Structures are given as structure tokens and as C-alpha cells.
Structure 1
Amino acid sequence: MESGGRGRGPEGENENEPDQVATAIQRMADLLERMVNQQGQGQGQNAGNPGGNTENNNHDREDRALERFQKFAPPKFVGGPNPDIAEGWLERMLDIFAALGYTEERQISFATFQFEGAARAWWNVIKTKWEREQTPWTWVNFTREFNEKYLPPIVQERREDEFIRLRQGALSVAEYETQFTKLSRFAPDLVLTEQRRVRSFIQGLNVELQEALAAVQVDTISQALEKAQRIEAARGQVKAFQERKRRQPSSSTYTPGQSSKNEPPTKLGRGVGGPRPIGTPGRGNFGRGQAGRGPQRGGQRGGQSSGPRSTCNFCGGNHPSDNCWKQGSVRKCFRCGSTEHLIAQCPKAPHEGTSTPQAGGTTPKPINAGGNRPKVPARVYAMGHQEVTDPSAVIEGTLSLFGVPQTF
């Protein structure tokens, strides 16, 4: 029995041995499969290989982009009949997206994320229509739908007219571009393509900028804006330089007493103290007073110089002003100064028939019996001014007329 039992024992062990080996192999295979799967998951997370983790990565990037968008505090929009509120909300969205630089599809997704109430219900209808008609998710299409819903037609027409009439004028290029972008959404058909947008932008610039951009290849609105700003800056520098040059004083300075280049030179005459303009008191100008007169040749030729004499301020005679016979209400004789008679009846006058030696041997004029000189026809003498070619031939001197010295 024992021998028989021991004989069957090895045979029984041989029958169970294949099952144990197969079980161990299966366990090892399962372990290796789990290890491979773990390694594949790690590589997918690190390298971003295609698989189930790609969708998770896209969601992560979308969440981070939405978080950046929310940091700008975008306003909510609930709709309503007020066009100013709708226009202000759309302008705010444009400002935020200009800073973020997102794609147009993402811009529409984030903008509609701010809809609430009636605006959310309206957008659900528009989104279904776009999916059915396969409308591209572009900002132009979204703006058209938004304007048709929340901006009355009269407001859109007014804004479209403003866009058509928009010109730079006194605005800078940057200010003009801001107005262009603000009003262009009300005329989407005019800026449907980039070429139309560039053409409309250039046509609104000033003429000098249009001429400068005519010879430049411009494909996008950003290129047109950059080149226009560069041209504007260069022209501003030239204008500032010309303004500074115009305000600077000229190199030629004016010296007092120096005549202008276009002014003819002043004619000068001779006299004491240097040259004297013709027309001032001096030789050849007859008048009273001694100022500005030239040297008297008569006094030099006589060889005698008279002492200082006082001149009357009333009549110009050679006597003091307080002893002038012509002052006062009482008439006096001009010969002797008596108040009892005049010069015609002056007893000191020479009588008829007598001869008094005169200077130069001249004969005195006769006097009638009444003591008066015979009357003669009245005569008028006039003195004129005439230029002389030889000044050395002119004789100058001082004569006394009616007791008043005159210079000739």
C-alpha cells in the first residue's frame, strides 16, 4: 500500500505541475502590463503624446486663458434697449482682446461667456443657427449679429455714415486709428477683407501721408499704421526744425546810426562839428539864431573879433531883453529910445543939406523940410535858396536889418 501510494505520488505531482507554471506566467504577464501602462501614462503626461491626456491638456490651457481674461474684470451684459450700454460693452471687449491677442474664435467664446439673462438666450439661438449654416466664428460675423440685435437701425446708419466720412484732419495717426477701429464695426461690409480695411484706412489719412504711402507696399492694417506713424514723426521733426530756424535772430545785427541797405545815403553839408545833413540851419539857410551855423568869414576877414554880445529874446536885437524898446505898450523911438517921438521924428537923425560921412564914402539920402525922407514906391525883395558849385566863391557875413542881425 505504501509502495503503491508512493508510486502514485509522483504521478499526481506531475499532473499538477503545468497548472502552477501557467499561473505564474500569467501573473508575471499581468505585472509587466501594469508596469508598461504606468510608464505610458507618465510619458503621455510629460511629452504630451496623443492619447486620453491630450484632451486634459487642452482643457488646462483653456482654463488658464479664461483666467487671464477674467483678470481684466470684463463687464457682464444682460441686453436691453439702450444702445449706449451695448456699444460700451462691445468697446470694452475690444480693448481686452487687443491686450490678450487671442484668436477670433476664442474671443467670441469668452465674450459670450459674459452674457446673462436675455442676452444668453439670444446667443444660444444664434449659436444654433451658426452650427446649422456652418457660419465661420469670426469677429465680423459676431459684430454683425450683435449690432442687428442691440443697436437700432438708425444708430447703425448714423455710425456707418460717420465711418464713411471719417478723416484724419487735425488728429494724430494714433487717434485716427482709434476712431477708425471704433466705427468700422458698424460698416462690416466695407472692411470685410484686409485689403478693403487697409484701403479705407489709407483713404482717411491726410493727403501728405497718402502720397508717402502710395510708394510703399502695405498688406495689413498694422503695417499701414506703423508706416503712417513713422512718416508723421519724421514730418514733425522737420516742421519743428523749420520753426526753430525761423525764430532764431538773423546773423546781421542793426547798429544805431547805421542806415538800412535800402535807404539812400544822407547828403551832408559843411559846418562846425563835422558833417551836417543838408536842410539843417547853417550856410545857405537864412534864419535867426546861431545854432548850427558855420564859421563867419566876414569876421575873420575884418581881422577883429567882437566881444560877447547879448541878444534880445523879444526882437533878436543886440541889446538885453529887459532894455528892448519894442516891449511894452508904449512905443519908443528905435534910434534913441525916447517915448516922445518915433524914429521918423528923431532929432538925432541927420538934417537935410548936411552930410555925414558914411562908411565906404556913400552919400546920405536927402531929407525933406518936415524931417521925413521922401516917399518912394514900395518894393518887395525875396530871398531864395540855390545850390552853388564852388562853395569857396560864397561870401558869408552878418548884416543888421531893422536892428536885427541876420547871417548871409
Structure 2
Amino acid sequence: MIDIFSAVHYTEEKQVTFAVFQLEGVARSWWNLIRLKWEREQTPRMWVNFMREFNTKYFPPLTQEKNEYEFITLCKGTQTVAEYESQFTWFSKFAPELIVIEQRRIRLFVQGLNVEIQKDLAVTQHNTFSDAMEKAQRVESTRLQVRNFQAKKRDIPESSLEQGDKSTAPKLGRGVGGVRIPGISRGASQGGSVSASHGPCGYCGKPNHTKDIYWKKARKCLRCGSVDHQIANCPILP
């Protein structure tokens, strides 16, 4: 309504008349009491008087002080810079005296940003509020790109391992000589059970097998453990 008054250049009295015309229900009853009071006290029908009465009824000092405090302590939190700026501008109307000076408005805005963004903005000069807003958004965008890159970089090995697990052949057991052999559990060879207490091997010095069944000495297949062929000719190779 104030914007309308500025556009059509209403007089003070006409502004009050237009505003009162919009009131309904309880608000209309409230105005009827105020109108009688003004007639009794001969109060001029001016917009400033109407706003004083209206704010006393619907926007008391306690609420004004609360909104002013919320403006001063407003923080970005998990919001984007654009969302934070929208709230900052909305709450600023409750403390107009704090933002009359442009540099003070910029300082209040920057103080509510995250510490990481504040640190990057500390080395830059802000001539206008829109300049500070744009630089804060650029810093936010850059930091988001860095975080996404780091997260993607961390996920590459894990995703590769997951794909490898899905494409792996039958689960392999620990065979003779430390070789993975399908169908054979850890600590067991093709010829029978090998106790974990056996060893170390007299051929290679490693535990869990003896030199009699060492795959390299017995020239066994590295894939299946058979002595009839080498791994190059293994029939179960993909």
C-alpha cells in the first residue's frame, strides 16, 4: 500500500481512507474505536498517526525488538547465500537505522555468512552491497565445486572395488602356496586338509604349507591346483 501511495501521490488523508477501506472483521472494529478516539482528541487523519496506532495494535514493541534481534543475529547456516540474502533483506526493515550506511549494511551481511566464506571475503574490497553479495556467491560456488571434486575423488576407489566384486568368478579359497583355488577353503589344499600350524615351508619359507605340496615345486596350476596342466592351459579360465 505504501508503494501504491508513492506511485499515485495520494495525500495523507486519502492514504488513511484507502487503508481503512481494506480493513475487515476485527480490524474494522478496531478502526472504529480508533476513529472515535481521533474525533474526541481531534487527532489529524494523517498516515504517520495511522501507522503509529496500527503498529501499536498489530506490531507491538516486543515483536519489533524480537525481529530486530533476529536481524542482528541472523546467520547463513545451511542456507545458500541467495536464501540468506533474502532473509537478511526482509529482516532489515525491522532495524532500518542499522543499514542506512552502506558499509555498515555490508558488514552486517558478511558477519552472518559462514566462517569459510568470511575468510575468503576478508581479503577483498566491497564497495556496494550487491558487490559483496556477488563475491559471496562466487566463493560459495567455488567451495562447492571443490567439495564435489574431493567427494568424487574419494568415491572412485570404492566404486571400482564394488564393480570388481560383482564381476568376480566363483569365490576362491586359499590354496597351496598362497594361491587362490576355487572351491577350496582357507588352509586346505586339493589333496586334503592342511593345518595352519604347518610350516614354514622348507622351499619358500612361508607358513600354512609344506615343501612337499608347494605349488611351484609341484608345478601345479595357479588357477585350480591341478598337476596335469599349467595355468595357461587351465580349462576353467574364462
TM-score norm. by structure 1 comes to: 0.32
1:19-168 to 2 correspondences below 5 Å? 109-110=6-7, 115=15, 117=17, 119=19, 125-126=46-47, 151-168=59-76
RMSD: 4.2
Q: What letter matches 1:227 in structure 2?
A: K
Q: In the aligned structure 2, how far is the partner of 1:119 from the partner of 1:274? A: 97
Following superposition of structure 1 onto structure 2, how do residues 254-269 of structure 1 map, counting pairs within 5 Å? 266=207, 268-269=209-210
Contact 2:68 2:91 in 1 (8 A): yes
- Match of 1:240, as an amino acid? N
Correspondence for 1:221 among 112, 118, 129: 129
Whole-Å separation in 1 of the counterparts to 2:157 and 2:123: 39
Q: What pairs with 1:247-258 in structure 2 (closer than 5 Å)?
A: 247-249=155-157
The percentage of counterpart residues that share the same residue type is 43
1:270 Cα deviation after fit: 2.4
TM-score by length of 2: 0.52
- Please state which structure has a larger fraction of its residues in helix: 2
Quote the Cα distance in structure 2 between the aligned partners of 1:123 and 1:233.
54
Q: Distance in 2 between matches of 1:148 and 1:220?
A: 35
Q: How many residues align?
A: 155
1:151 Cα offset (Å): 2.0
* Equivalent in the alignment of 1:306: none
Relative distance call for 1:248 and 1:272 in structure 2 (3 A) is: closer
Q: Structure 2: which 5+ residue stretches go unaligned?
A: 21-34, 36-42, 180-204, 218-238
Deviation at 1:221, TM superposition (A): 1.0
- CA apart distance, 1:119: 3.7
SS of 1:268's partner is coil
1:192 alignment partner, SS class: coil
Which residue is equivalent to 2:93?
185
Whole-Å Cα distance in 2 between the matches of residues 117 and 245 of structure 1? 66
Q: 2:89 and 2:116 mapped to 1: Cα distance?
A: 22
Residue 119 of structure 2 is matched in structure 1 by: 211
Shift of 1:274: 3.7
Other-structure match for 1:287: none
Distance of aligned partners of 1:272 and 1:204 in 2 relative to their CA distance in 1, 3 Å threshold: closer
Q: Is the 8 A contact 1:213 1:227 kept in 2?
A: yes
